[in-house]
Structure 1
Amino acid sequence: MPPSQKIRRPRAETPKGFRDYFGAEVTGRKAMLDRIAAVYHRHGFDALETAGVETVEALGKFLPDTDRPNAGVFAWQEEAVPGGGSGDWLALRYDLTAPLARVAAQYRNDLPSPYRRYAMGPVWRNEKPGPGRFRQFYQCDADTVGSASPAADAEIIAMLAEALEAAGIAPGDYLVRINHRKVLNGVLEAVGVAGERAAAVLRTIDKFDKIGAEGVRQLLTAGRRDQSGAEIEGVGLTEAAAAPVLAFLTSKGADNAATLDNLRMAVGGSASGAEGVEELATIATLLAALGLGPDRVVIDPSIVRGLAYYTGPVFEAELTFEVLDDKGRPRQFGSVAGGGRYDDLVERFTGQKVPATGVSIGVDRLLAALREKGLAGEDEAGPVVVTVMDRARMADYLAMAAELQAAGIRAEVYLGNPRNFGNQLKYADRRRAPVAVIAGEDEAARGVVQLKDLDLGARLAGEITHEEWRSQPAQTEVARTGLVEGVRAMLERAAARR
């Protein structure tokens, strides 16, 4: 073939901002989500699985106001139907909440009210990727639609704490911090800030944990210069107007009672603000009754949550233990979950107020935290490998693997070239196999099999002397009829050593 006609082969690489997940990563995530799902199910929540694609109109935030409304979402337009005008704009879902609002409206005559549901699955964001920031990632949500009671918010918060502990985060390694949008709105009302300027204030104070009180003060007023030297324009409040906002942000007291007293003063004469403070007090009382004290849950006015659709209580779950960054410096892991009340979302479809509250767990961030703690399950053993010593006896080897599988033991037969036994053991090592089953002609004639404890062999080779090795052989002979019992006993010993 002439060089000019050379076949152009596709690049074997994932698209930018996406990644592949292998073996233990997938099973570790599933195991964690199964534990969380068990918590949600125990609290009476039903599973819901929505389509990965929604209409752009249903997503709501990204209405088609340009030729291609793809700001933040992966969107495309369907082909036009003859005589029916242009086709619908569709998009991959960017979260699990917008689909829930659509479901609650679409099936409102069939669903119970309140409707408790949980959902887990991938979402997609058409945003610039960065370190640890991907365009596809997993979310794990739980929501209650149809209840305005603070008890619904308290239930979601309590369930979040239980889910984190079920996933493997110990009490003392996390803290759920709670605030209320009505309290903040009351403060803004007291200083005369409304409309787009109020939204700008919200976006600014949401940066409190990153830039501190002084940085927020600068951004609320004239602006500030960031670490790169770039000038960032401020919201334009006067110092007098910014002061109550800063007082609100820093009003956390020694305990929840003190914080609530400070917030009552911060909202002044705002009826909405006062209502928010009392709802926070009710939630704190309910959580205390559920056994969730200040070691797990605390009222913190610095929690804002950037999404504009929140209308009431907002909260974040932050991991408090330290990890080392790429340069070996200690840092806190940070937020892994967040949520709040959003009473206006379903109204977009129905025109009627439908109260709702919920939480979303960042699955990948939580898994990364568990990995830092050595609790992600990614060091799990692979399958038992039945080696092949005689091709003519392949049926016997398959029968051995089938017996182990029927007994609930993960097992497989080596299917590569069996001529080099060393390569079979190398394969078993790459598979993280804990045990290899060996049965040649001699073993078949005597009705036995050899069980090689690969886990023990690896440990002994690295930890003890040759003499000790000889006294602790890593290979055992058992009767062929005792294959399952022998392998199970060897696996139990390996598990006890971990």
Structure 2
Amino acid sequence: MSANIKQQRPKARLAKGFRDVDPDEVRGVKRMLRVIEEVFEAYGFEPLELPFIEYTDALGKFLPDQDRPNEGVFSFQDEDEQWLSLRYDLTAPLARYVAENQQALPTPYRGYRQGWVFRNEKPGPGRFRQFMQFDADTVGSASPSADAEVCMMVADTMEKLGIRRGDYVVKVNNRKVLDGVLEAIGVAGPESEARRMTVLRAIDKLDRLGVQGVRELLGKGRKDESGDFTKGAELDQAAIDCVAGFVDAGAATRDATLKRLAELVGASERGRAGVQELEEMAKLFAAAGYAEDRIKIDPAVVRGLGYYTGPVFECELLMEARNDEGQLVRFGSVGGGGRYDDLVARFTGQQVPATGFSIGVSRLYSALKLLGRAEEGKALAPVVVLVMDRERLGDYQRMVSALRDAGIRAEMYVGTSGMKAQMKYADKRGSPLVVIQGGDEKAKGEVQIKDLALGAKLASGVESRADYKDARLAQFSVPEGDLVKAVREALARK
């Protein structure tokens, strides 16, 4: 009876909103990360690694829906029935780390970290539920110079990665300025916090939805292409016009923009404080030689997360390129950040000023690759030593070790198939060369080296016996003692 029961097998399928990453991208991203590390290290930041999982309550009020821990984050309960979550970003875990280790850390503390973050949100084209970030933060300084330095470091990073001046811009604003505008329209105080966040998230979608889409989200709400409806902030028309005027207050120069913002905030004390911080940052940019084409003040930058308390910034790529389908692609933002002075206080009860920036690694790498400015991620495939006689595995292993000791990537075939299958394996691996030593070659003290790429090229034109003989030139014999030298010379010719 049991023999008739069909075995249930899991279906091999990729989870929705996630993706597999191929070897070329893995290598290319690692090389890009090394460049970013060099810049961050040059600014005096120190590396740090933090766990993927935090207690859900440590992630904070900025989550999309704090009353339902599974909204926006991937959460589960442990054996003690405590809620745990995969980290939503790298900033909230840093706040927990600083709160736990504050006495042992220098003040200010300057650190950087990289890693995967997870968001339980609706996936879409180019929007995944798992993606990598690279963050740098200064914790323990309330000075606008810390904010300004982060912006300058990001600008330097873009240029170190090969993005030309004029093809990127770091845009800066201040949450306090927007708070001053919101005070003027009656959206202020704890009772208006939910509406304030709706306004912030609406403005944050400007580059994706345009002015009309933002206006809809500031009003009743907006229905997207799929038919899903997003509830708006329900501001009246006068208030919508006021917020839209703030977003459009950017001018050709930092000084002109600051003048407009000062007029918009009027008598708001908080708004004036925000403008003053931006003025201090602008002076530092000018003193360090970072002109308007590298760092500009843009009122449309607000950032969508709730924990920002002052200056906020984004890095935008301005150039366009065509993808493999010939479609014109505009890259937009590849990272952002800002000041978050209240995050550590959630744990300690004492305000600890902090500021930082997060680079979207996958997005930045995709842009660099499309522009042809990513370092080539391909690595030369290994030379494969074929196993012609299983009784002589030690001989083949010695050949592989000699090649590796000489700095040549190499492997011994570890399968159980015959020569034909081994050649197919090497070809599928993209191996440049294979090393062959059967009984006859062993008796002569020789090895044969076959150039797979050259052999395939020559074989494609074989039409006669003479052509076939020429094609054999892709395979040659050398004394076993000259193996390393011969392989190195063959690889050098490629």
Same fold per TM (> 0.5)?
yes
Q: Gaps (5+ residues) in structure 1?
A: 81-86
Q: Aligned-pair distance for 1:93? A: 1.7
Q: Where does residue 135 of structure 1 map in the other structure?
A: 129
Task: Read off the aligned partner of 1:30 and give its amino acid letter.
Answer: K
Q: Where does residue 251 of structure 1 map in the other structure?
A: 249
Q: Where does residue 406 of structure 1 map in the other structure?
A: 405
Q: Residues 66-103 of structure 1: CA distance to partner in whole angstroms, max 9, x if unpaired?
A: 6x7312222222334xxxxxx42222222211111011
Distance 1:492 1:251, change over 3 A: farther
Pairwise mapping of residues 319-358 of structure 1 onto structure 2 (< 5 A)?
Answer: 319-324=317-322, 328-358=326-356
Distance 1:448 1:345, change over 3 A: same
Is the deviation greater in 239-248 or in 139-148?
239-248
- Is 1:117 the counterpart of 2:107? The answer is no
Whole-angstrom CA distance in 2 between matches of 1:463 and 1:268: 79
Whole-angstrom CA distance in 2 between matches of 1:337 and 1:290: 22
Q: Which has the higher contact order (CA 8 A, sep 6+)?
A: 2
Whole-angstrom CA distance in 1 between matches of 2:204 and 2:9: 47
**Contact 1:182–1:272 (8 Å) recurs in 2:** yes
**Contact 1:49–1:119 (8 Å) recurs in 2:** yes
- Is 1:386 the counterpart of 2:385? The answer is yes
Pairwise mapping of residues 20-35 of structure 1 onto structure 2 (< 5 A)?
Answer: 20-35=20-35
Whole-angstrom CA distance in 2 between matches of 1:464 and 1:293: 62
64, 85, 100: which one pairs with 1:106? 100
Q: Aligned-pair distance for 1:442? A: 4.7
Q: Share of identical aligned residues, percent? A: 53
Q: Aligned-pair distance for 1:108? A: 0.8
Is the deviation greater in 444-453 or in 121-130?
444-453
Q: Where does residue 70 of structure 2 map in the other structure?
A: 70
Q: Where does residue 60 of structure 1 map in the other structure?
A: 60
Q: Aligned-pair distance for 1:277? A: 2.4
Q: Where does residue 240 of structure 2 map in the other structure?
A: 242
Q: Where does residue 311 of structure 2 map in the other structure?
A: 313
- Is 1:287 the counterpart of 2:285? The answer is yes
Q: Aligned-pair distance for 1:42? A: 2.7
Q: Where does residue 16 of structure 2 map in the other structure?
A: 16
Distance 1:417 1:198, change over 3 A: closer
Tell me the matched-pair count: 486
**Contact 1:388–1:418 (8 Å) recurs in 2:** no
Whole-angstrom CA distance in 2 between matches of 1:63 and 1:426: 52
- Is 1:190 the counterpart of 2:180? The answer is no
Task: Read off the aligned partner of 1:148 and give its amino acid letter.
Answer: A
Pairwise mapping of residues 134-173 of structure 1 onto structure 2 (< 5 A)?
Answer: 134-167=128-161, 169-173=163-167
Q: Where does residue 84 of structure 1 map in the other structure?
A: none
Distance 1:386 1:114, change over 3 A: same
Pairwise mapping of residues 202-281 of structure 1 onto structure 2 (< 5 A)?
Answer: 202-221=200-219, 234-281=232-279
**Contact 1:121–1:138 (8 Å) recurs in 2:** yes
TM-score by length of 1: 0.86
Q: Aligned-pair distance for 1:233? A: 5.4
Whole-angstrom CA distance in 2 between matches of 1:460 and 1:358: 57
Q: Aligned-pair distance for 1:64? A: 10
TM-score by length of 2: 0.86
Whole-angstrom CA distance in 2 between matches of 1:280 and 1:407: 56
**Contact 2:386–2:436 (8 Å) recurs in 1:** yes
Q: Aligned-pair distance for 1:179? A: 1.5
**Contact 2:176–2:309 (8 Å) recurs in 1:** yes
Is the deviation greater in 394-403 or in 342-351?
394-403
Task: Read off the aligned partner of 1:388 and give its amino acid letter.
Answer: V
Q: Residues 239-263 of structure 1: CA distance to partner in whole angstroms, max 9, x if unpaired?
A: 3333332222112222323322322
Q: Gaps (5+ residues) in structure 2?
A: none
Q: Residues 471-496 of structure 1: CA distance to partner in whole angstroms, max 9, x if unpaired?
A: 995455544333333333333442xx
- SS of 2:261's equivalent in the other structure is helix
Q: Where does residue 395 of structure 2 map in the other structure?
A: 396
**Contact 2:117–2:133 (8 Å) recurs in 1:** yes
Distance 1:171 1:464, change over 3 A: farther
Q: Supply the RMSD in Å over aligned alpha carbons.
A: 3.3
- SS of 1:109's equivalent in the other structure is helix
Whole-angstrom CA distance in 2 between matches of 1:451 and 1:170: 45
- SS of 2:104's equivalent in the other structure is coil
Distance 1:463 1:107, change over 3 A: farther
Whole-angstrom CA distance in 1 between matches of 2:16 and 2:185: 45
Task: Read off the aligned partner of 1:34 and give its amino acid letter.
Answer: R
Distance 1:200 1:75, change over 3 A: closer
Q: Aligned-pair distance for 1:39? A: 2.5
**Contact 1:56–1:64 (8 Å) recurs in 2:** no
Distance 1:481 1:280, change over 3 A: farther
**Contact 1:250–1:302 (8 Å) recurs in 2:** yes
Task: Read off the aligned partner of 2:94 and give its amino acid letter.
Answer: L
**Contact 2:87–2:117 (8 Å) recurs in 1:** yes
